[in-house]
């Protein structure tokens, strides 16, 4: 059933006569069910003309139906790699003429003066196939997708002009048309194209999908349509660092909501002029949202930093924990880049033993995302076989939200250490036994000198929950500590020139230094332990 009624005929005839396409006419007539928009363009046009001719036969409308005429369209200036042409020979599509321009055979009308061809040629199956070919060639693994389209901001100006025209005409009949009564262009476009994309790619369209296909349209011919708004509403168009143009859709909409109707009509034609060419496609891009891998790592080397150690552009050591793990993940997930995070960090000369330190890696724009638990287990084994400096356990895929468990309450978590300590004075077993009795010792730590270049100057109070000593010889003993996370252990031993108070040296009345330090446990019960 044709969606327009007798009440819509005058508006439909007015818009058609001024160069508006059938689907935009539906939008301005408030047609909010999908089926009519999905009809092939030629069929839509034929039905609309039949509907209006019936009106003429009844002598209800005095607005003549415009005579059919073939128009020529320019070939898009910026073609997309892999898309030889968005123009295809054949009836109902764009066709290239002898001089290299292209003409629309999709209608007997001009290119729509409102949507600039978006709801004409860019809704047809041939265009959808071209986009899908690029998606399939992108190499991404996906089981659903979200479609993102970006339209030129001047479409909002043209829609505003057409709305004012229709509003004025409807006012003569004591009828009204609010801006919100018009079906949004993006909504209509998705109604038409979503089923076509889904059918062509064989996967559902899902607004929550991590795989995004984005299509960006432009229309160079009418790019100056927005410029008058800046002169009238300059405060709406403020330069932004990450925007190439001040004429964003949001800025244009803000100005249109602010400008008076009479001022708009003085500056911009109502109805808007018909363009010569349809929109061009600036880019078709595919991207996958980040995926996250977590686990725990052990570090057995005293010559390995957690992250790349680079000073003044010069690399100090050839590898790092981060790279030994992430290099394998980047390759297998076919990701562009990664971000590494962990529950704290150890110095280059500190080992991490026990159950290891929790870590998480964000893999940016991965092309492969589906793995079985066995494949992840094999990946873990591959990492472990590649180096004797680290080992990884409990490797698993996690959600972005789950990573919060690693960071939440980090200051309240506890960590256990083992330190080999040297003293300048000879000691006996009885000289260190009193340390075993100290519980929940509060210490004040001014930012250590060794990290002052990357940490703000502050005094932090930390808790040494417990200590246990083991005598080695008259100048050495081993100290086992359970501390609040974030405690600087080395400074607690040697005092850092009095910046940490109290410290082992001051408690024992000796000069003390730390020779070896191991992290024995990081008491964060995440990620979940897996069976070997």
Q: Is the Cβ–Cβ distance between 364 and 287 less than 8 Å?
A: no
Q: Is the Cβ–Cβ distance between 299 and 391 less than 8 Å?
A: no
Burial 501-515 (b: 16+ CB within 10 A, else e): eebbbebbebebbbe
Give CA–CA dist 495/506, Å, rounded: 8
Classify the C-alpha dihedral 451-454-458-464 as positive or negative: negative
Neighbouring C-alpha atoms within 13 Å toward the C-beta of 172:
7
Q: Is the Cβ–Cβ distance between 66 and 35 less than 8 Å?
A: no
Which residue among the candidates 327, 347, 513, 523 is catalytic per the annotation? Answer: 347
Other CB atoms within 10 Å distance of the CB of residue 127: 21
Give CA–CA dist 275/112, Å, rounded: 8
Q: Is the Cβ–Cβ distance between 325 and 392 less than 8 Å?
A: yes
For residue 264, the surrounding DSSP H or E stretch is helix 261-267
Q: How far apart are the first and last CA of the chain?
A: 64
User: Nearest Cα to 342, choosing from 415, 443, 417?
Assistant: 415
Q: Is the Cβ–Cβ distance between 9 and 52 less than 8 Å?
A: yes
Q: Is the Cβ–Cβ distance between 425 and 510 less than 8 Å?
A: yes
Give CA–CA dist 19/181, Å, rounded: 21
Is 480 strand, coil or helix?
strand
For residue 160, the surrounding DSSP H or E stretch is helix 154-171
**Phi, psi of 403, rounded to the nearest 5 degrees:** -65, -25
Angle at 106 between CA 8 and CA 16, to 5 degrees: 25
**Phi, psi of 89, rounded to the nearest 5 degrees:** -70, 155
Maximum pairwise Cα distance, the chain? 116
Give CA–CA dist 2/48, Å, rounded: 8
Q: Assess whether 312 carries a catalytic annotation.
A: no
DSSP letter string over 280-295?
EEEEEEEEE--EEEEE
SS (H, E, C) 219-238: CHHHHHHHHHHHHHCHHHCC
Give CA–CA dist 213/132, Å, rounded: 9
Q: Where are the alpha helices (DSSP H) in 5-141?
A: 9-17, 22-28, 35-38, 41-57, 125-137
Active-site annotation, residues: 347
């Amino acid at each position: 059933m044709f969606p327009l009624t007798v009440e819509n005929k005058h508006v439909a005839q007015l818009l058609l006569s001024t160069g508006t396409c059938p689907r935009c006419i539906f939008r301005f007539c408030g047609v909010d069910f999908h089926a009519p928009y999905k009809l092939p363009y030629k069929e839509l046009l034929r039905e609309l003309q039949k509907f209006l001719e019936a009106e003429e036969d009844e002598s209800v409308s005095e607005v003549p139906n415009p005579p059919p005429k073939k128009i020529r369209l320019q070939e898009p200036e910026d073609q997309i790699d892999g898309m030889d042409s968005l123009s295809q020979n054949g009836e109902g599509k764009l066709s290239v003429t002898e001089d290299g321009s292209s003409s629309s055979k999709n209608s007997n009308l001009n290119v729509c003066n409102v949507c600039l061809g978006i709801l004409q040629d860019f809704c047809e199956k041939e265009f959808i196939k071209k986009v899908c070919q690029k998606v399939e060639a992108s190499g991404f693994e996906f089981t659903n997708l979200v479609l993102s389209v970006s339209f030129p901001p001047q479409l909002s100006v043209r829609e505003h002009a057409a709305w004012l025209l229709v509003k004025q005409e409807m006012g003569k009949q004591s009828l009204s048309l609010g801006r919100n009564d018009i079906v949004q262009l993006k909504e209509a476009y998705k109604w038409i194209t979503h089923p076509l994309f889904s059918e062509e790619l064989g996967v559902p369209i899902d607004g929550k999908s991590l795989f995004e296909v984005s299509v960006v349209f432009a229309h160079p011919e009418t790019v100056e349509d927005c410029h008058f708004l800046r002169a009238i509403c300059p405060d709406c168009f403020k330069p932004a660092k990450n925007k190439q143009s001040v004429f964003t859709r949001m800025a244009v909409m803000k100005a249109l909501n602010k400008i008076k109707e009479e001022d708009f009509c003085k500056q911009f034609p109502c109805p808007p002029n018909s363009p010569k060419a349809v929109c061009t496609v600036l880019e078709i891009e595919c991207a996958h949202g980040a995926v996250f891998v977590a686990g725990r790592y052990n570090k057995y080397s005293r010559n390995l930093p957690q992250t790349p150690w680079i000073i003044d552009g010069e690399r100090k050591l050839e590898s790092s924990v981060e790279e030994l793990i992430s290099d394998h993940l980047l390759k297998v997930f076919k990701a562009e880049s990664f971000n590494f995070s962990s529950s704290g960090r150890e110095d280059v000369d500190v080992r991490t033993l026990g159950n290891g330190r929790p870590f998480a890696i964000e893999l940016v724009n991965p092309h492969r995302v589906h793995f079985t638990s066995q494949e992840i287990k094999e990946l873990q084994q591959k990492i472990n076989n590649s180096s004797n400096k680290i080992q990884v356990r409990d490797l698993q895929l996690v959600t972005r939200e789950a990573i919060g468990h690693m960071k939440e309450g980090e200051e309240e978590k506890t960590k256990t250490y083992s330190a080999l300590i040297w003293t300048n004075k000879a000691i006996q077993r009885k000289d260190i036994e009193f340390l075993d009795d100290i519980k929940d010792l509060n210490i004040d730590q001014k930012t250590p000198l060794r990290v002052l270049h990357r940490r703000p100057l502050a005094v932090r109070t930390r808790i040494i929950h417990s200590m246990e000593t083991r005598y080695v010889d008259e100048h050495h003993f081993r100290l086992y500590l359970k501390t609040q996370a974030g405690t600087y252990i080395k400074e607690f031993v040697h005092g850092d020139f009095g910046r940490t108070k109290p410290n082992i040296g001051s408690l024992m009345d000796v000069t003390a230094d730390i020779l070896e330090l191991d992290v024995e446990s990081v008491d964060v019960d995440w990620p979940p332990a897996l069976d070997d």
